[in-house]
Chain A
């Protein structure tokens, strides 16, 4: 047992102004996430939201995989703030922490990108489907195998996927727990770019990351907000809500 620090790394890109990285750093375990790591990520997101120097947030993982899911072996205790929500059954702390995390990512008012190589499963998949832009290696395995572990998948993909891509693809991926390749995910529209697996995705994606980091932030935030709200609003209500949009949103 080593005491190597496996906490996610949070740092600014040396070459692209405004780009902040959150990089999972537990490569020996394919970057599976425990609740303490989720907490670190959530805190880093809050900091990035209010840091005017940050114009784009990118999630990635060290090593062979982006993220193979939640750490279901070393069950971390629920964090203090969630204890009162804990269900007293033998099912652990439940997904409350992960709910908070992916909701923060989803509502983040600046561009969010995920870079996926190897695997993006379970919690990794939840993070990916909460980002604006998904970039993968062509051989990346992508999806949610929780059905095969006799687990729930209570993190909102049943809502998100049916809105991200046409519903007819849904049963194949989710009900059967089939994994998609990056290439196929691109074909059905879930992934926006695929790249050669032999090259570091940060390098392959640098052009698109630079582009996203340079966009006018306020305009982006307004459009993103109305895209996400628009999923749950009637057409007329969305039109009305966007009329007063610019005055309400006041971040750069």
Chain B
């Protein structure tokens, strides 16, 4: 497929949206490719970071209902025709897979981020951007449906008040403003972005990946739990997961050197 490139570079799984003539809007096929790639990563020990990127001056403008493509055969029988159109199942499954991915995920935001593109960014662990990035939703303005789970994710990332601003009021945020409200983690000048992003990704890919994934699982699942349950959940996770890198961390500490983690 030419609309999306998925490749491995060392420990990094690179997902690139390459449909610039449609502002990198996603088709059903692209959504399911992302879902499948991200699900595979969960059990692939060689991959320690997943990145999603667009083109030089464009991340992803969302989806375009006229160019989504054929309704995927795996969902046949789950798309009853009606005045409100097909249900957003492929969108939801892609976002769910990203959100619960066991490896670090980084969205590289360059330029326009809108609609489903915003959902992808918000479901990733890290969002870094060029100074030219503009984030908005736009779905309400176009009388579209917001049903990917972003209404769950965004208020937990930045608070309901600012989520309302983006989703309901429809504000367009510059990278600086998005960074101010905590939506973006780092903003770089466009010229430096490739180098800075590479540094950022390298650093994440050398972390103790297994430890990372356990903490991520705890954090995301515990968003929906009462405090007392969260403590018990943490305990259960601790008792049922082995982190081999613990030995290396202890050795490095003792020998006063930087640890070299395997990710296991």
Give A residues with C-beta under 8 Å from B.
111, 132-134, 160, 163-166, 189-190, 192, 208, 211-212, 215-216, 218-220, 222-224, 226-227, 229-231, 233-236, 238-239, 242-247
- With A and B bound together, what is the CA distance between A231 and B171 in angstroms? 21
Which of A165, A208, A244, A247 is within 8 Å of B159, CB to CB? A165
Task: Report yes or no: A230 in contact with B161, Cβ–Cβ below 8 A.
Answer: no
The reply to whether A238 and B151 form a contact with Cβ atoms under 8 Å apart is: yes
Q: Is the CB of A189 within 8 A of B152?
A: no
| A176, B254: Cα distance in complex, Å | 45
CA distance A43 to B167 in the complex (A): 28
| Chain A residues within 8 Å of B163, by CB | 227
Name which of A211, A223, A231, A238 has the most chain B CB atoms within 10 A of its CB.
Answer: A223
Partner of B155, one of A132, A163, A192: A163
Measured between beta carbons, the chain A residues less than 8 angstroms from B145 are 219, 222, 242, 245-246
Q: Is the CB of A189 within 8 A of B181?
A: yes
Minimum C-beta distance from B244 to chain A (A): 30
Q: Which residues of chain A have C-beta atoms less than 8 A from B168's C-beta?
A: 111, 132-133, 220, 223-224, 227
B230, CB-defined interface residue at 8 Å: no
Q: Does B164 contact A (CB under 8 A)?
A: yes
User: How many whole Å from A224's CB to the nearest CB in chain B?
Assistant: 6
Interface residue ranges of B65-87 to A (CB < 8 Å): 82-84, 87
In angstroms, Cα B143 to Cα A163, docked, is 26
Min CB–CB distance B65 → chain A (angstroms): 13
Give B contacts to A, CB under 8 Å.
Answer: 82-84, 87-89, 92, 96, 99, 139-149, 151-153, 155, 158-165, 167-171, 181-182, 220, 223-224
Chain A minimum-CB-distance residue to B169: A133
Which residues of chain A come closer than 8 Å to B170, judged between CB atoms? 211, 215
- Supposing A111-B168, A212-B169, A246-B145 touch, asked if A239 and B162 sit within 8 A by C-beta, the answer is no
* Beta-carbon contact of A243 and B88 below 8 Å: yes
Q: Report A-chain residues with C-beta under 8 Å of the C-beta of B141.
A: 215-216
Contact A245 B140 (CB under 8 A): no
Q: How far is the CB of B94 from chain A (nearest CB, A)?
A: 11
The reply to whether B89 and A243 contact each other, CB–CB distance below 8 Å, is: yes
Residues of A within 8 A of B148 (CB): 239
Decide if B143 touches A218 in the complex (CB within 8 Å): yes
Is A243 a contact of B87 with CB atoms below 8 Å?
A: yes
Chain A nearest Cβ from B237, distance in angstroms: 17
Contacts of B164 in A (CB 8 A): 132-133, 192, 227
Query: Can you report 11 residue pairs joining A to B where beta carbons are below 8 Å apart?
Result: A133-B168, A163-B160, A215-B140, A215-B170, A226-B146, A227-B155, A230-B151, A230-B152, A235-B99, A239-B92, A242-B147
Q: 14 extra interchain contacts, Cβ-Cβ under 8 A, other than A133-B165, A220-B168, A238-B149?
A: A132-B164, A133-B164, A165-B161, A192-B165, A208-B169, A227-B155, A227-B167, A229-B151, A230-B152, A235-B223, A239-B96, A239-B149, A245-B147, A247-B84
B75 to chain A, nearest CB (A): 12
Q: How far is the CA of A224 from the CA of B146 in the complex (A)?
A: 9
Q: When the two chains form their complex, are residues A192 and B92 in contact, meaning their CB atoms are under 8 A apart?
A: no
C-alpha gap A220/B152 in the complex (Å):
16
Does the CB pair A247–B82 fall under 8 Å? yes
Q: Knowing A231-B155, A243-B89 are in contact, say whether A134-B161 is a contact too (CB < 8 A).
A: yes
* Closest A residue by C-beta to B157: A166
Nearest CB to that of A218 among chain B residues? B143
